Amino acid sequence: MSARDEILTVAQVLDELGGVSRRTFYRWREIGKAPEGFKLPNGELRIYRSEFTAWLQSLREAA
C-alpha cells in the first residue's frame, strides 16, 4: 500500500466486479475469499485499491 493508495467503497468494488451482489461480496468476506479491507468507526467497509488489485491478480493466477 502506498501513501497515495486509493480507498474504495464496497459499492465501487462491486461496480468494478461487474454485477456481483453486495450479499455475495459479504459472503466471500465471511469465508475469507474477498480482498482485505478495514472498517471505519461508523462500521462501513473500505478496501485499498492495491489490495483489490492484488486479490484480482491472485484469482487470475488461480484460474
Quick one: how far is CA 5 from the chain centroid? 14
3-class SS of residue 62: helix
> pLDDT at position 31, please?
96
Tell me the torsion sign for CA atoms 31, 14, 48, 46: negative
Write out pLDDT tens, residues 42-54: 999 999 999 999 9
pLDDT tier at 4, thresholds 50, 70, 90: confident
pLDDT of residue 38: 96
Per-residue pLDDT band for 3 (boundaries 50, 70, 90) equals low
Grid cell for residue 9: 467503497
Within-domain flag for 2: no
Residue-range definition of the domain harbouring residue 43: 7-62
Task: Indicate whether 44 belongs to any domain.
Answer: yes
The answer to whether residue 1 sits within a structural domain is no
- Determine the pLDDT at residue 15: 96
pTM confidence score: 0.85
